[in-house]
Structure 1
């Protein structure tokens, strides 16, 4: 009688109890940084050639996306504005973490209150502060012409601007004479 060789598989094709069907095991994941990159990382790291004022510039896809987000925020997109505000907050937090610890509180000019809408308009460059005289006790703002122009461009349909509305726009805008008014409106 012949001696049987011990095999890992029985005659039925199944492995014996306690023996692995895959003796080498699962292959390990590659530890190279290139192998761990997601598809998004690969795209964001690519360079684009962009023409600006007749000159070629190289931008990463990430820089191009940020630039487009800024343009959309300026054009009035609420989602883009939220994204820009989040980027600003994230940057401010990163700068605060890197800054050396303050020994005492030193005040430089006007402090901004994040809960104050006027401060937000000033920080974003949508408005500037002004005063009507030395005894003016109010926080007065005038809107930047680009912001007013963007709002006028976004006006869809509706009625024509009234004389009162035109006067209010002129009163609350820096350099209102630079504005391009909607068709049918006489400033």
Structure 2
């Protein structure tokens, strides 16, 4: 009887190995895939800046343009040119990509808070058939938007508890650094 074939790390069974001339990646790497830099991920991050003694949150791209513009106004001609070029490029890209509305949707909405909350996806009605337990739960995006509008103000633990309990999926919310309430 012959000796068993060695199988392990770097030595898969011969039946499952690629045949000679067969690639493990038949289509290969897509062209220009390595050139793409994750601009959206980096420049889309929110950062805190201080203007005239007040802090506010902006995207990294906006903070970068503000800094370039300030340097340009201070006399740095290269920064002034770079900021003007960036602004013109953004204007050109925005006007080229905008097609306009392709379809108008006319939807009758009942009046009242319930219709607004549901239609705009601000909140979802939980237990709608149970009159004893029925309540609105806020969607994560509106909670994040409301917390961002607080600025420097921080909620008390009691207020945090109330917001947590009124949020539909609190584990999906990007809570601020100062947030202290994470469940019951």
Give the TM-score range, shorter chain.
0.3 to 0.5
TM-score, normalisation: structure 1: 0.39
Q: Which has the larger radius of gyration?
A: 1
TM-score, normalisation: structure 2: 0.39
